[in-house]
C-alpha cells in the first residue's frame, strides 16, 4: 500500500475509534441520568498573570478583593504550576491532562525552543487527543469556551471539533494591529461564524489601553450560566480571557484606577468580573453545586514589565523560562459547602490536574489507553490528603527541570540568547544569578543544579555538590527522571514551521515552506516562530 494510502487508512481508523469511544461515553452518561446531577465546572484561566498579582499572595496594592475573598472562602494552592512556560503548550496540557510533548505541542526546530500557534503555524491539537469537554459529554455536560483557544487556527482544530458546544473568542491572542496587507488582524468567532477582528469590529486602543473585551467576555459567561441553569444542564465553562497579555487593556471605567498602572487596571477589571460570576452563581443558588478554579497559563511576562507585565512575587525570572517565575501560578479552588473555607493546600499541583479533577467531578475515569499526567485534586481540597508526585518542566523537546517534594533540579539552564538579550529582550530583568540565569544553554544533566524551594524560593542558592543533602536528593530524583524518560513517547511535533497557505502571509523567503514536518536543518532561522 502506498504511504499516502496508509496514512489515510490510519486517520480513518483513528476517527472511527474516537467516535466509538465518545458514543460509549455518552451511553454511560445516559445510564446516570436518574442519579444526582454532577457539579458544574468553571475554569477561570488568565493569560500571563503572575503568582504575585493577587493580594492574597502579597501584592502590596491589594487590588483584588474578589479573588482574595474567593481564596478566603476556598482553598489556595501556593505550589501550583503551568505545564509549560508559554501559552499554547500550557493550554493543550490543561485540556488533555498530558505534558505538551506527549500531544505534539512543541517544536524540533532547535533545542529548548519555545513555540506556540501564531497565524502562520500549520499545526494544532491532534485529532487523537481527547479533550476535557469531549469526555464530559459522557456525563451530560454542555461546554463553552470564552476567549483564547490557541490550539490551532485551521478548521480541523476548531474548538467545536474537540468537544466544545459553544465558543466566543479567538484562535489567538489580541496581537496587532496589523495592516491587513502583510498579514490580517486576528479573527473573533461565535461558534463557526467569524463575527469580526481585533482592532476592527472589536477595537483595542493601543495608545490608551481602552477596550471593552473583558466586559464582552464577562457577559458571555453570565449568559451561558443562566441558560444552562434554566435548562437544568450540568455545564463546563472555560473562561480563558487575555486582558493581562500585552498589549494589556481595560474598559473605560477601570482605566487609570490602579496603583499599578495599566496592567493593574486590567487586573482590577478581571477581579471585578470574577466577583460578578461568583455572585451570579450564588444568586442562582447553584454555588454549592459548582466547582470553580482560578489560575493562569504561565508566569508574568517580565519582558513587558513594568507597564505591560505583572509580578511573579519572590520567584526567579518569568514567562518563557522554566525558573519558578515562569511556571508557578496563582491558584484558587472554590466550592461553597464542599471545599473548606480559608484553607492552604501544599499539594504540588499542575494545570494538567484540572483535566483529571474535572473528570472526577463528573464521575468519569481518565482514558486508560494513554499516559495521563494530571492528578485528581479532590482528595487534597476535600480531605487534605496530599500525594507525592514529580512535576516535569519542558521547553520545547527538552526536559529542563523537575520538582520533587521541596527540591527542584535543573538539568539545563537558559533564559534567552545573547543576541536577543543585547537587543533588549530580557526574561529576568534585575535578577541575574551567576551560573543560573544563563544566556547560553548550559547542560547539567550529570550534576543538576538543585534548589530547596522552601528555604530558597527564588532559586538563588544551589545546594553544594559535595553536601550530603545534595547527594541524597540526587539519589531520589535520578530514578524518577530515568523512569519518565524511558516511558515517554513524544507526539508528532505540531509547531515546526510557518506556511503561507494558512493565512496568505509568510516572512520573506518562507513562501514555499508548505509542510509542517520539513526537516529543521533545512528551515532558515528567519522562518522559525517565535523569532
Q: Which residues are annotated as a binding site for Ca(2+)?
A: 47-48, 87, 297-298
Indicate the helix (H) or strand (E) that contains 41: strand 40-46
Question: Binding site membership: which residues?
Answer: 47-48, 87, 297-298
150 annotated active-site: yes
Farthest CA pair distance, the chain: 67
Q: At what angle do helices 65-73 and 262-283 cross, to 10 degrees?
A: 50
DSSP 121: B
Point out which residues pair with 296 in neighbouring strands: 46
Point out which residues pair with 390 in neighbouring strands: 404
| Calpha distance 203→523 (Å, rounded) | 36
Q: Which residues touch 487 (CB under 8 Å, ≥6 apart)?
A: 371
Point out which residues pair with 46 in neighbouring strands: 296
118-130 CB burial, b ≥16 within 10 A, e <16: bbbbbbbbbebbb
Cβ burial, residue 231 (10 Å; 0-12/13-18/19+): exposed
531 annotated active-site: no
If we measure between CA atoms, which residue out of 490, 521, 528 comes closest to residue 507?
528
| Calpha distance 232→234 (Å, rounded) | 7
Q: What is the 3-state secondary structure (H, E, C) of 9-26?
A: HHHHHHHHHHHHHHHHHH
| Calpha distance 433→347 (Å, rounded) | 28
- Find the angle CA(333)-CA(339)-CA(342) to the nearest 5 degrees: 75
Half-sphere exposure (Cβ direction) of 199: Cα atoms closer than 13 Å:
14
Phi/psi of residue 84, each to 5°? -170, 150
Q: Which residues touch 256 (CB under 8 Å, ≥6 apart)?
A: 265
Q: Which residues touch 224 (CB under 8 Å, ≥6 apart)?
A: 144, 146, 166, 235, 237
Q: Can you read off the three cell numbers belonging to residue 35?
A: 442519579
Residue 154 and residue 502 in contact, taking contact as beta carbons nearer than 8 Å: yes
Q: What is the 3-state secondary structure (H, E, C) of 328-385?
A: EECCEEECCCCCCCCEECCCCEECCHHHHHHHHHCCCCCCCCCCCCCCCCHHHHHHCC
| Calpha distance 57→45 (Å, rounded) | 17
- Which residues are the active-site residues? 87, 150
Amino acid at each position: 500500500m502506498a504511504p499516502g494510502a496508509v496514512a489515510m487508512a490510519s486517520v480513518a481508523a483513528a476517527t472511527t475509534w474516537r467516535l466509538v469511544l465518545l458514543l460509549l461515553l455518552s451511553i454511560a452518561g445516559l445510564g446516570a441520568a436518574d442519579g444526582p446531577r454532577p457539579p458544574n465546572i468553571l475554569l477561570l484561566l488568565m493569560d500571563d498573570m503572575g503568582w504575585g498579582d493577587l493580594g492574597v499572595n502579597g501584592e502590596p496594592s491589594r487590588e483584588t478583593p474578589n479573588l482574595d475573598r474567593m481564596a478566603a472562602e476556598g482553598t489556595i494552592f501556593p505550589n501550583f504550576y503551568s505545564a509549560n512556560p508559554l501559552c499554547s503548550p500550557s493550554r493543550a496540557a490543561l485540556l488533555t491532562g498530558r505534558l505538551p510533548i506527549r500531544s505534539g505541542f512543541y517544536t524540533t526546530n532547535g533545542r529548548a525552543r519555545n513555540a506556540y500557534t501564531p497565524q502562520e503555524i500549520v499545526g494544532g491539537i491532534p485529532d487523537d487527543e481527547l479533550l476535557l469537554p469531549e469526555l464530559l459529554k459522557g456525563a451530560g455536560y454542555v461546554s463553552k469556551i470564552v476567549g483564547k483557544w490557541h490550539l490551532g487556527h485551521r478548521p480541523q482544530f476548531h474548538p467545536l471539533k474537540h468537544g466544545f458546544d459553544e465558543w466566543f473568542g479567538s484562535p489567538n491572542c489580541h496581537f496587532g494591529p496589523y495592516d491587513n496587507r502583510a498579514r490580517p488582524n486576528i479573527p473573533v468567532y461565535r461558534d463557526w461564524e467569524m463575527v469580526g477582528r481585533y482592532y476592527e469590529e472589536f477595537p483595542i486602543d493601543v495608545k490608551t489601553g481602552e477596550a471593552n473585551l473583558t466586559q464582552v467576555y464577562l457577559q458571555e459567561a453570565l449568559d451561558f450560566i443562566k441558560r444552562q441553569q434554566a435548562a437544568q444542564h450540568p455545564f463546563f465553562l472555560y473562561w480563558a480571557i487575555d486582558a493581562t497579555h500585552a498589549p494589556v487593556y481595560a474598559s473605560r471605567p477601570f482605566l487609570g484606577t490602579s496603583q499599578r498602572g495599566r496592567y493593574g487596571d486590567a487586573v482590577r477589571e478581571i477581579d471585578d468580573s470574577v466577583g460578578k460570576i461568583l455572585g451570579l452563581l450564588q444568586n442562582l443558588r447553584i454555588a454549592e453545586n459548582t466547582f470553580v478554579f482560578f489560575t493562569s497559563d504561565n508566569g508574568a511576562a517580565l519582558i513587558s514589565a513594568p507597564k505591560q507585565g505583572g509580578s511573579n512575587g519572590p520567584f526567579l525570572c518569568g514567562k518563557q523560562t522554566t525558573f519558578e517565575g515562569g511556571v508557578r501560578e496563582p491558584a484558587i479552588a472554590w466550592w461553597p459547602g464542599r471545599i473548606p473555607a480559608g484553607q492552604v493546600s501544599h499539594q504540588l499541583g499542575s494545570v494538567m490536574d484540572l483535566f483529571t479533577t474535572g473528570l472526577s467531578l463528573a464521575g468519569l475515569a481518565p482514558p486508560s489507553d494513554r499516559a495521563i499526567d494530571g492528578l485528581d485534586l479532590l482528595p487534597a481540597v476535600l480531605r487534605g490528603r496530599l500525594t507525592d508526585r514529580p512535576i516535569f518542566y519542558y521547553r520545547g523537546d527538552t526536559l529542563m527541570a523537575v520538582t520533587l517534594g521541596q527540591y527542584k533540579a535543573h538539568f539545563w539552564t537558559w533564559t534567552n540568547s545573547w543576541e536577543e538579550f543585547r537587543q533588549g529582550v530580557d526574561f529576568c530583568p534585575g535578577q541575574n544569578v551567576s551560573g543560573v540565569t544563563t544566556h547560553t544553554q548550559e547542560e547539567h544533566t550529570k550534576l543538576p543544579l538543585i534548589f530547596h524551594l522552601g528555604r530558597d524560593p527564588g532559586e538563588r542558592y544551589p545546594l553544594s555538590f559535595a553536601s550530603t543533602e545534595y547527594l541524597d536528593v540526587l539519589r531520589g530524583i535520578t530514578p524518577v527522571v530515568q523512569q519518565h524518560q524511558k516511558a515517554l513517547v513524544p507526539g508528532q511535533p505540531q509547531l515546526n514551521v510557518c506556511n503561507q497557505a494558512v493565512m496568505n502571509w509568510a516572512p520573506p523567503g518562507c513562501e514555499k515552506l508548505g509542510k509542517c514536518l520539513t526537516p529543521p536543518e533545512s528551515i532558515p532561522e528567519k522562518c522559525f516562530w517565535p523569532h
